Amino acid sequence: MIILLEKKAQKVCYDEIIAFLQKEKINYRPIHANERIVIDLSRNVRVLDREKLLSFDGVDKVFTDTEPYRLVSRNFIEENTIIELDLVQIGGETPIVIAGPCSVESEEQILEIALLVKAQGLQILRGGAFKPRTSPYSFQGLRERGLELLGKAREETGLYIITEVVDTKDIPMVAQYADILQVGSRNMRNYELLKAVGRVNKPILLKRSMSATMKEFLLSAEYVMSEGNTQVILCERGIRTFDDFSRNTLDLAIVPATQKITHLPIIVDPSHATGRADLIEPMSMAALAAGAQGLMIEVHPNPPKSFSDADQALDPKQFANLMHRINHYLEWQKAYAKTPHAY
Amino acid sequence: MIILLEKKAQKVCYDEIIAFLQKEKINYRPIHANERIVIDLSRNVRVLDREKLLSFDGVDKVFTDTEPYRLVSRNFIEENTIIELDLVQIGGETPIVIAGPCSVESEEQILEIALLVKAQGLQILRGGAFKPRTSPYSFQGLRERGLELLGKAREETGLYIITEVVDTKDIPMVAQYADILQVGSRNMRNYELLKAVGRVNKPILLKRSMSATMKEFLLSAEYVMSEGNTQVILCERGIRTFDDFSRNTLDLAIVPATQKITHLPIIVDPSHATGRADLIEPMSMAALAAGAQGLMIEVHPNPPKSFSDADQALDPKQFANLMHRINHYLEWQKAYAKTPHAY
Amino acid sequence: MIILLEKKAQKVCYDEIIAFLQKEKINYRPIHANERIVIDLSRNVRVLDREKLLSFDGVDKVFTDTEPYRLVSRNFIEENTIIELDLVQIGGETPIVIAGPCSVESEEQILEIALLVKAQGLQILRGGAFKPRTSPYSFQGLRERGLELLGKAREETGLYIITEVVDTKDIPMVAQYADILQVGSRNMRNYELLKAVGRVNKPILLKRSMSATMKEFLLSAEYVMSEGNTQVILCERGIRTFDDFSRNTLDLAIVPATQKITHLPIIVDPSHATGRADLIEPMSMAALAAGAQGLMIEVHPNPPKSFSDADQALDPKQFANLMHRINHYLEWQKAYAKTPHAY
Amino acid sequence: MIILLEKKAQKVCYDEIIAFLQKEKINYRPIHANERIVIDLSRNVRVLDREKLLSFDGVDKVFTDTEPYRLVSRNFIEENTIIELDLVQIGGETPIVIAGPCSVESEEQILEIALLVKAQGLQILRGGAFKPRTSPYSFQGLRERGLELLGKAREETGLYIITEVVDTKDIPMVAQYADILQVGSRNMRNYELLKAVGRVNKPILLKRSMSATMKEFLLSAEYVMSEGNTQVILCERGIRTFDDFSRNTLDLAIVPATQKITHLPIIVDPSHATGRADLIEPMSMAALAAGAQGLMIEVHPNPPKSFSDADQALDPKQFANLMHRINHYLEWQKAYAKTPHAY
Q: CB–CB of A193 and D167 under 8 A?
A: yes
In chain C, residues with a C-beta closer than 8 Å to the C-beta of B189 are 132, 134, 186-187
Residues B214 and B273 in one domain: yes
pTM above 0.90, yes or no: yes
Q: What angle do CA C90, C92, C98 make, to 5 degrees?
A: 30
Residues A92 and A238 in one domain: yes
Q: State the average pLDDT for chain D.
A: 93
In chain B, residues with a C-beta closer than 8 Å to the C-beta of A249 are 239, 241, 249, 251, 253
In chain C, residues with a C-beta closer than 8 Å to the C-beta of B136 are 191, 195, 219, 222-223, 226
Q: Where are the alpha helices (DSSP H) in D198-241?
A: 214-226
Q: State the average pLDDT for chain A.
A: 93
Query: What distance in Å separates the CA atoms of residue A231 and residue A34, rounded to the nearest whole number?
Result: 9
Asked whether residue A292 is assigned to any structural domain, the reply reads: yes
The distance of B179 to chain C (nearest Cα, Å) reads: 23
Tell me if chain C has a CB within 8 Å of the CB of B189.
yes
Q: State residue D77's pLDDT score.
A: 83
Query: What distance in Å separates the CA atoms of residue B285 and residue A288, rounded to the nearest whole number?
Result: 9
Query: What distance in Å separates the CA atoms of residue A161 and residue A110, rounded to the nearest whole number?
Result: 11
Asked whether residue D76 is assigned to any structural domain, the reply reads: no
The shortest CB-CB distance from B42 to any of C137, C189, C210 is to: C137
Q: State residue D297's pLDDT score.
A: 98
Helix (H, G, I), strand (E, B) or coil at B231: coil
Q: How many CB atoms lie within 10 A of CB C315?
A: 14
The distance of C243 to chain A (nearest Cα, Å) reads: 8
Residues B40 and B184 in one domain: no
pLDDT above 80 (res A265): yes
pLDDT above 70 (res D45): no
Work out the average pLDDT over A200-228.
96
Which ipTM did the prediction report? 0.91
Q: Where are the alpha helices (DSSP H) in B67-180?
A: 107-119, 144-157, 171-177
Q: State residue C152's pLDDT score.
A: 98
D229-254 b/e (C-beta count within 10 Å ≥ 16 → b): bbbbbbbbbbbbbbbebbbbbbbbbb
Q: CB–CB of C260 and D278 under 8 A?
A: yes
3-state secondary structure D238-268: CECCCCCCCCCECCCCHHHHHHHHECCCEEE
In chain D, residues with a C-beta closer than 8 Å to the C-beta of C252 are 250, 252, 283, 286
Hey, what amino acid is at C306? S
Residues C208 and C125 in one domain: yes
Query: Residue D191: which pLDDT band, with cuts at 50, 70 and 90?
Result: very high
Asked whether residue D71 is assigned to any structural domain, the reply reads: no
Residues A262 and A211 in one domain: yes
Query: Residue A304: which pLDDT band, with cuts at 50, 70 and 90?
Result: confident
- For residue A279, give the CATH number of its domain: 3.20.20.70
Residues C55 and C89 in one domain: no
CB-defined contacts A:C, below 8 A: 5
Task: Give Cβ neighbours of residue D152 (< 8 Å, ≥ 6 apart).
Answer: D107, D110, D111
A204-207/A36-40 β-pairing: unpaired
The distance of D268 to chain B (nearest Cα, Å) reads: 22
Query: What distance in Å separates the CA atoms of residue D323 and residue D330, rounded to the nearest whole number?
Result: 10
Asked whether residue B75 is assigned to any structural domain, the reply reads: no
Least confident of B45-54, C223-232, D20-29: B45-54
The shortest CB-CB distance from A136 to any of D132, D211, D226 is to: D226
Q: How many CB atoms lie within 10 A of CB B134?
A: 18
Residues C150 and C196 in one domain: yes
Residues A45 and A100 in one domain: no
Q: CB–CB of B191 and C132 under 8 A?
A: yes
Asked whether residue C343 is assigned to any structural domain, the reply reads: no
Q: State residue D38's pLDDT score.
A: 85
| DSSP 8-state code for residue B291 | T
Is residue A71 within 8 A of residue A222, CB to CB? The reply is yes
Is residue B113 within 8 A of residue B125, CB to CB? The reply is yes
Total domains present in chain B = 2
Asked whether residue B179 is assigned to any structural domain, the reply reads: yes
Residues D35 and D89 in one domain: no
- For residue D53, give the CATH number of its domain: 3.30.70.1140
Q: What is the pLDDT of residues A89-143, one digit of tens each?
A: 999 999 999 999 999 999 999 999 999 999 999 999 999 999 999 988 888 899 9
Residues B302 and B166 in one domain: yes
What Å distances lie between residue D191 and A130, D183, D216, CA to CA?
Answer: 11, 11, 12
Q: State residue C307's pLDDT score.
A: 82
Work out the average pLDDT over A228-252.
96
> H/E element holding C278?
helix C277-289
Closest CA to C120 of C159, C163, C91, C177: C159
pLDDT above 80 (res C45): no
Task: Give Cβ neighbours of residue B117 (< 8 Å, ≥ 6 apart).
Answer: B99, B100, B125, B157, B159, B299
Domain membership of residue A286 as a residue range: 83-338
Query: What distance in Å separates the CA atoms of residue A76 and residue A93, rounded to the nearest whole number?
Result: 21
Report CA dihedral (C92, C93, C99, C104) to the nearest 10 degrees: -10
In chain D, residues with a C-beta closer than 8 Å to the C-beta of A190 are 166, 186-187, 190
Residues C87 and C134 in one domain: yes
Query: What distance in Å separates the CA atoms of residue B244 and residue B278, rounded to the nearest whole number?
Result: 15
Residues A18 and A158 in one domain: no
Backbone phi and psi for residue B217, each to the nearest 5 degrees, phi listed first = -60, -50
Query: What distance in Å separates the CA atoms of residue D180 and residue D201, rounded to the nearest whole number?
Result: 10
pLDDT above 90 (res B316): yes
The distance of B208 to chain C (nearest Cα, Å) reads: 13
Closest CA to B104 of B288, B300, B242: B300
Q: State residue B45's pLDDT score.
A: 63
Is residue A243 within 8 A of residue D153, CB to CB? The reply is no
Asked whether residue A201 is assigned to any structural domain, the reply reads: yes
Q: CB–CB of B190 and C187 under 8 A?
A: yes
A59-93 b/e (C-beta count within 10 Å ≥ 16 → b): beebbeeeeebbbbbeebbeebbebeeeebebbee
The shortest CB-CB distance from A190 to any of D170, D190, D216 is to: D190
Q: What angle do CA C189, C194, C195 make, to 5 degrees?
A: 130
Is residue C198 within 8 A of residue C229, CB to CB? The reply is yes
The shortest CB-CB distance from D252 to any of C252, C288, C328 is to: C252
Work out the average pLDDT over C113-132.
97
- Helical axes A254-261 vs A214-226, angle rounded to 10°: 50
Task: Say what percent of chain C tops pLDDT 90.
Answer: 75
Query: What distance in Å separates the CA atoms of residue B137 and residue A95, rounded to the nearest whole number?
Result: 47
pLDDT above 80 (res D152): yes
The shortest CB-CB distance from D339 to any of C215, C286, C328 is to: C328
Query: What distance in Å separates the CA atoms of residue A312 and residue A296, rounded to the nearest whole number?
Result: 12
Asked whether residue B26 is assigned to any structural domain, the reply reads: yes
Work out the average pLDDT over B122-128.
98
Q: What is the pLDDT of residues B167-189, one digit of tens each?
A: 999 999 999 999 999 999 999 99
Query: What distance in Å separates the CA atoms of residue A16 and residue A18, rounded to the nearest whole number?
Result: 5
In chain B, residues with a C-beta closer than 8 Å to the C-beta of A339 are 328
Hey, what amino acid is at A59? V
